[in-house]
Amino acid sequence: MTEKSFSSSPEAFAQVRENYLRITENIANAVAKANRQDKIRFMAVTKTVPVEKVNYAVSLGINLLGENRVQEFLGKRDFYVPDCEIHFIGGLQNNKVKYIIDKVSMIHSVDSEKLALEIDKRASLMERIMDILIEVNIGKEESKGGILPDAVNEFSDFCFHMNNIRLRGFMAIPPPDDNGSNERYFEQMQRIYNDCRSKYGEDIDTLSMGMSNDYEQAVLHGSNLVRIGSALFGNRK
Ligand SMILES: *Cc1c(COP(=O)(O)O)cnc(C)c1O
């Protein structure tokens, strides 16, 4: 049996369904525990996942896909079932913005003035407004993208005042801290998000944090968009 046919076997689909139901229930439990009334968006992160498995997840009720890699996305997008919202969440080079600007409804990974300017310019050429999130390097890790926490205020101002960009909030990928828990970072992100929302108002409505290993904790700390890959589709090869 080839890998491809295995990955789309009935067993593989049944596993995705089971995972979906479990994650949905875990999210609902975290929402109840946090006593929240708002809605949490469940994004399926599609990197390395075959199209038919992605489409199956959509058939279960997922209506938001997260794309990391421009080339992979461009190769797969024509085969996705229509009417699914797609966000770009991976590191984005300035020269790739033009390939995705008309194909996604939000970019989560904006982390430099140059990138913001390029998105603004390309959006303007398309006569559209692009929704963006600022990626925050909340753990101050050298190897990672994102704006350092100290620079968030200034960069938010910069993005907020561009004509063809609409700042919607923040994204983060916190590292585990010494206790193997991200809690401290999630709390810091929640503070950054709330401060920005009091400053700019209700346009700021998205806090994108929480992945397969920590989405419940993220929901306890105000995340309203969790990005889930391996817990839904299985481990990536
Ligand atoms: C891969 C990826 C995810 C999902 O990771 P999992 O741990 O597999 O859930 C979420 N966000 C970003 C930005 C990613 O690159």
**pLDDT for the residue 225:** 98
Over the stretch 130-166, which tens digit does the pLDDT of each residue have? 999 999 999 999 999 999 999 999 999 999 999 999 9
- Please give the class, per CATH, of domain 2-233: alpha beta
CA 23, distance to chain mean position in Å, is 16
Cβ(211) to ligand 1 under 6 A? yes
Retrieve residue 233's tokens: 């589709």
Instruction: Note the pLDDT of residue 178.
Output: 67
pLDDT of residue 177: 63
Predicted local distance difference test score (pLDDT) of residue 8:
73
> What is the predicted pLDDT for the residue at 181?
73
Ligand 1, closest atom to CA 236?
8
Pocket test of ligand 1: the residue of 206, 211, 235 to mutate, having most ligand atoms within 8 Å of its CB, is: 211
The closest residue, in CA terms, to atom 6 on ligand 1 is: 229
The domain spans of the chain are 2-233
Which atom of ligand 1 is nearest the CA belonging to 212? 9
Give the pLDDT means over successive 10-residue stretches in the chain (237 positions): 59 96 98 96 97 96 97 97 95 98 98 98 98 97 95 98 97 82 92 97 97 95 98 91
Q: Which two tokens stand for residue 183?
A: 């809690």
Length of the chain: 237
Looking at every residue in the chain, the average pLDDT score rounds to 94
Q: Which residues contact 122 (CB under 8 A, 6 or more apart)?
A: 97, 98, 101, 130
Rounded percentage of the chain residues whose pLDDT exceeds 90: 89
Question: In terms of pTM, does the model score above 0.85?
Answer: yes
